[in-house]
Amino acid sequence: MENLKAINSIGKLKDFVREIKDFPKKGINFKDITPLLADPKAFAFAIDGLVNRYLSQKIGYVVCIEARGFVIGAPLAYRLGAGVIMVRKPGKLPYECSSLSYDLEYGSATLEIHKDALKKDDRVIIADDVLATGGTALAAINLIEGFGAKVIDAAFLAELSFLNGADKLKPHKVNSLLKFDY
Ligand code: AMP
């Protein structure tokens, strides 16, 4: 990894994602993006790669999903001249919230957003690090659409294509920079 002098292709960028077997539990092949975030060239290449298709789309807000989604979504918003909105786990946001519970493979989870975060017809993209089954992103989309706002796209650094999360998000479009089929 240290030998990579310049990041000028998606293939090279993929080398900065580290595989951690059986994390956080047995059977999960965790995609660790921390080496990519820590490398200034790789991080810049990734953000530039994601942002391009939105530059002329008048995006008002990037809704970032806790917690790694904050790291991806905030620089996207800055580049787009858009605002950052946080979707968080229960009890983290200080003001009144709308919340939504959704099923995970085992058990369930809840996401929250401030109840005044968006307005009808706001143009929004959502951002997270990894699209896996799509359950988390779908919950975020449902929260956003509860305001009458429009989800233009869902942006991810990486997509685990074998889990078919993009199908779950249809008809919303998925913009993922790196695709993993393992
Ligand atoms: P999902 O709801 O299944 O799409 O899961 C999405 C969330 O879980 C994302 O916020 C990811 O950060 C995280 N996640 C799920 N599976 C993985 C994985 N194999 N590697 C890294 N992150 C994952």
Q: Could you tell me the domains of the chain?
A: 2-180 (3.40.50.2020)
Per-residue pLDDT of the chain (182 residues; tens, 9 = 90+): 444 456 778 889 999 999 999 999 999 999 999 999 999 999 999 999 999 999 999 999 999 999 999 999 999 999 999 999 999 999 999 999 999 999 887 789 999 999 999 999 999 999 999 999 999 999 999 999 999 999 999 999 999 999 999 999 999 999 999 999 98
Q: What atom in ligand 1 is closest to the CA of residue 139?
A: 2
CA 135 to ligand 1 centroid distance, Å: 9
Active site residue 112: no
What pLDDT sits at residue 3? Answer: 45
Q: What atom in ligand 1 is closest to the CA of residue 160?
A: 19
Residue 136 beta carbon below 6 angstroms from any ligand 1 atom: yes
Task: Please give the C-alpha separations between residue 31 and each of 36, 64, 169, in angstroms, as whole numbers.
Answer: 11, 19, 21
CA 90 to ligand 1 centroid distance, Å: 18
Active site residue 159: no
DSSP SS3 for 7: coil
Atom 15 (ligand 1) nearest CA:
132
What pLDDT sits at residue 5? Answer: 55
Claim: this prediction has a pTM higher than 0.85:
yes
What pLDDT sits at residue 9? Answer: 85
From the candidates 53, 68, 79, 123, give the one annotated as an active-site residue.
68
Own/partner long-range contacts of 101-105 (Cβ < 8 Å, ≥24 apart): 101/139, 102/135, 102/136, 102/138, 102/139, 103/135, 104/133, 104/135, 105/133
